[in-house]
């Protein structure tokens, strides 16, 4: 379970989030939508403890991460997998080293055993074993994103997965592959997923509940039916280009 | 903006940056203690800094040594004191030229590389990814580079000193027509505790200066590739200027405390 209670955050003098509250039960997928610069990615940074809120509380499985010590925060992070925007792969390491990074750093597993797990993970994210010795720069955007998902999964067997713009800049076929991978993870591993995106069409494929952020404030928190009926001018304006996509979505398509 | 206002703003910014640099440096030093130790990364950095800078240091060392020997031998000839060339070369190179020249060369070559590498990692969120995986980026990236600099800058300085003095010897025998024995006797005469101490203390301090500034600039780089470029330039400029200032301070401090050993 992830809960934000009246969270405010600012970068210097610039407010990014204002009095934000929401709750995501365990095992659910939630999409956070909003225009660029609305504070979506900051929410993920706060959950991961990469930044601290100015006010409010953030609860992860009933632990308020705002008041914990760095060591406890590291333990909490072990339950969280993060797929950064553009992958954030370590560009001086091979694909294999990227995927096995956490185990190489933190576990006492033998190198061969780590290699075996890396091979398994490559298969899980639908990548060929041939790319194991390639550098991230040699891969396409979609492959990099899948390596990033594999790296996050192999790190800690996470109970929470955070995706920051997982499909931005990808072609439709690769987008579909990434979205089905996210769905597979949520279903098979029963992880709580938060997907941050401004790609509305993609949002409807991975969750049935949505939060819409505008200028750091939550202006919507509900399902597709409520979203269709929303009469807030900011939501109407934001969703205008995607009216057809919303109309076509069947409520029971979602997880 | 009025000049006075500009000066106040500049000073405020300078004080703020200095405070942040100090705190960051303290964190870097603290990260040297306690597990995990990134031994492989440290040796890799020692190789990159040491072996990578070797050619540069040899080239600048021999050129500076020969240039200085030419200048000094001409001046000393006017006073009939050419035999003192080795003595002056040893003092000038071991105390001043070797450490400063090596420090500035390493700052130019290594500080830029460190800032650009860490700055790019920050820009592409690789540092955030490290934190997300429970790794302290300062311990993983900055500490190995600092240790490598602390080991390699003094080593490179000693190599530069030797090469520069050998360069001076070549001028001494081929141009100034001083015997090898006279030159080397004068050089060895000045290899006392005071000169050797100051010659090693300086590169040790410069290593910290280069490590602190280059890593700080990398970790605080903002504004994408343009910001990384700006941080890299600032890193080299600030490190070079700080080396020159630190050179004066170390000289003054060492002279104050162990004057009798020179």
Separation between Cα atoms, residue A22 and residue B218, nearest integer Å: 36
Mean pLDDT for all residues in chain A? 85
Residues 6+ apart with CB under 8 A from A164: A41, A44, A82, A83, A84, A85, A196
Q: Which of B36, B129, B134 sits opposite A88 (nearest CB)?
A: B129
Order of strands across the sheet that contains A160-164: A80-83, A160-164, A192-197, A29-34, A209-214, A217-223
CB-based contact B133 A85, cutoff 8 Å: no
Task: Give the per-residue SS3 of A196-213.
Answer: EECCHHHHHHHCCEEEEE
Q: How far is B204 from chain A (nearest CA, A)?
A: 30
CB-based contact B126 A74, cutoff 8 Å: no
Q: What DSSP state is assigned to residue B190?
A: T
Chain B hits for A85, Cβ within 8 Å: 125
| Residue A65 predicted with pLDDT over 50 | yes
- Reading phi first (left if > 0) and then psi (alpha if -120 to 50, else beta), residue B80 is in left
Q: How does pLDDT run along chain B (262 residues), one tens digit per residue?
A: 688 999 999 999 999 999 999 999 999 999 998 888 899 999 999 999 999 999 999 999 999 999 999 999 988 888 888 888 999 999 999 999 999 999 999 999 999 999 999 999 999 999 999 988 888 899 999 999 999 999 999 999 999 999 999 999 999 999 988 999 999 998 998 888 888 999 999 999 999 999 999 999 999 999 888 999 999 999 999 999 999 999 999 999 998 887 777 6
Q: How far is B38 from chain A (nearest CA, A)?
A: 10
Q: Which of B242, B144, B148 is nearest to B202 (CA)?
A: B242
Q: How far is B20 from chain A (nearest CA, A)?
A: 15
* Amino acid A253: pLDDT: 47
CB-based contact A90 B135, cutoff 8 Å: no
Tokens standing for residue A218: 């939550």
ipTM over 0.90: no
* Amino acid A251: pLDDT: 47
What is the reported pTM? 0.85
Tokens standing for residue B23: 């705190």
B151: helix, coil or strand? helix
Separation between Cα atoms, residue A86 and residue A143, nearest integer Å: 11
What phi and psi, each to the nearest 5 degrees, are found at residue A221? -150, 100
> The dihedral of CA B182, B188, B190, B195: what is its sign?
positive
Please compute the mean of the pLDDT values over residues A117-140 and round it to a whole number: 90
Of all residues in chain A, what percent carry a pLDDT higher than 90?
A: 25
How many CB atoms within 10 Å of residue A10?
A: 16
Chain A hits for B134, Cβ within 8 Å: 74, 77-78, 102, 105-106
Chain A hits for B126, Cβ within 8 Å: 88-91
Which chain B residues have any C-beta within 8 angstroms of a chain A C-beta? 36, 121, 124-126, 128-129, 131-135
Per-residue pLDDT tens for B63-88?
Answer: 999 999 999 998 888 888 888 899 99
Nearest Cα residue in chain A from B133:
A102
* Amino acid B26: pLDDT: 95
How many CB atoms within 10 Å of residue B197?
A: 17
Per-residue pLDDT tens for A189-230?
Answer: 788 999 998 888 888 888 888 999 888 888 888 888 888 888
Residues 6+ apart with CB under 8 A from B120: B225, B228
* Amino acid B35: pLDDT: 80
Q: Which of B139, B137, B149 is nearest to B221 (CA)?
A: B137
Q: Which of A59, A83, A28 is nearest to A221 (CA)?
A: A28
Separation between Cα atoms, residue A114 and residue A77, nearest integer Å: 21
Which chain A residues have any C-beta within 8 angstroms of a chain B C-beta? 45, 48, 50, 74, 77-78, 80, 82, 84-86, 88-91, 101-102, 105-106, 155
| Residue A254 predicted with pLDDT over 80 | no
Task: Give the per-residue SS3 of chain A.
Answer: CEEEEEEEEEECCEEEEEEEEEEECCCCEEEEEECCCCCHHHHHHHHHCCCCCCEEEEEECCEECCCCCHHHHHHHHCCEEEEECCECCCCCCCHHHHHCHHHHHHCCCCHHHHHHHHHHHHHHCCCCHHHHHCCHHHCCHHHHHHHHHHHHHHHHCCCEEEEECCCCCCCHHHHHHHHHHHHHHHHHHCCEEEEEECCHHHHHHHCCEEEEEECCEEEEEEEHHHHHHCCCHHHHHHHHHHHHHHHHCCHHHCC
Per-residue pLDDT tens for A143-199?
Answer: 898 899 888 888 767 889 999 988 887 788 878 888 888 888 888 778 899 999 888
* Amino acid B17: pLDDT: 92
- What are the C-alpha distances in Å from B202 to residues A227, B98, B158, B261? 67, 10, 11, 16
Q: How far is B134 from chain A (nearest CA, A)?
A: 6
* Amino acid B260: pLDDT: 72
């Amino acid at each position: 379970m992830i809960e934000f209670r009246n969270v405010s955050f600012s970068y210097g003098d610039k407010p990014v989030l204002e009095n934000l509250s929401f709750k995501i039960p365990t095992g659910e997928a939630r999409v956070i939508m909003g225009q660029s610069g609305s504070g979506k990615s900051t929410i993920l940074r706060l959950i991961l403890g990469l930044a601290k809120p100015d006010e409010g509380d953030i609860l992860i499985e009933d632990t308020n991460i705002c008041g914990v010590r760095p060591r406890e925060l590291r333990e909490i992070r072990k339950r969280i997998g993060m797929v950064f925007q553009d992958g954030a792969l370590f560009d001086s390491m091979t694909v294999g080293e990227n995927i096995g990074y956490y185990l190489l750093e933190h576990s006492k597993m033998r190198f061969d055993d780590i290699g075996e797990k890396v091979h398994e993970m490559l298969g899980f994210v639908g990548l060929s074993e041939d790319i194991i010795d390639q550098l991230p720069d040699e891969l396409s955007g979609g492959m990099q994103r899948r390596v990033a998902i594999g790296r996050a999964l192999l790190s800690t067997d996470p109970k929470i997965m955070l995706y920051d713009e997982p499909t931005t800049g990808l072609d439709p076929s690769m987008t579909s592959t990434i979205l089905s991978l996210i769905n597979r993870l949520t279903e098979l591993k029963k992880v709580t997923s938060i997907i941050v995106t401004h790609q509305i069409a993609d949002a409807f494929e991975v969750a049935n509940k949505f939060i819409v952020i505008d200028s750091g404030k939550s202006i919507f928190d509900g399902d597709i039916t409520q979203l269709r009926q929303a009469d807030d001018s900011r939501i109407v304006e934001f969703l205008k280009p995607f009216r057809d996509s919303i109309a076509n979505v069947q409520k029971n398509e979602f997880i | 903006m009025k000049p006075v206002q500009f000066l106040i703003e500049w000073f405020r910014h300078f004080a703020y940056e200095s405070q942040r640099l100090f705190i960051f440096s303290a964190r870097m030093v603290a990260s040297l203690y306690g597990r995990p130790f990134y031994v492989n990364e440290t040796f890799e950095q020692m190789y990159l800094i040491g072996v990578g800078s070797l050619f540069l240091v040899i080239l600048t060392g021999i050129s500076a040594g020969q240039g200085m020997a030419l200048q000094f031998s001409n001046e000393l000839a006017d006073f009939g004191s050419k035999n003192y060339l080795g003595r002056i070369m040893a003092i000038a190179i071991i105390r001043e030229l070797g450490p400063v020249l090596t420090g500035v060369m390493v700052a130019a070559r290594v500080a830029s590389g460190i800032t650009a590498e860490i700055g790019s990692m920050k820009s592409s969120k690789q540092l955030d990814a490290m934190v997300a995986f429970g790794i302290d980026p300062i311990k993983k990236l900055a500490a190995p580079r600092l240790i490598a600099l602390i080991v390699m800058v003094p080593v490179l300085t000693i190599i530069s000193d030797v090469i520069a003095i050998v360069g001076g010897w070549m001028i001494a025998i081929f141009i100034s027509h001083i015997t090898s024995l006279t030159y080397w006797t004068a050089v060895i005469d000045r290899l006392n505790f005071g000169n050797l101490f100051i010659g090693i203390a300086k590169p040790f301090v410069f290593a910290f200066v280069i490590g602190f500034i280059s890593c700080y600039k990398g970790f605080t780089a903002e504004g994408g590739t343009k910001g990384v470029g700006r941080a890299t330039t600032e890193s080299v400029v600030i490190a070079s200027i700080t080396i020159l200032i630190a050179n004066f301070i170390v000289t003054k401090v060492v002279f104050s405390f162990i004057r009798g050993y020179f």
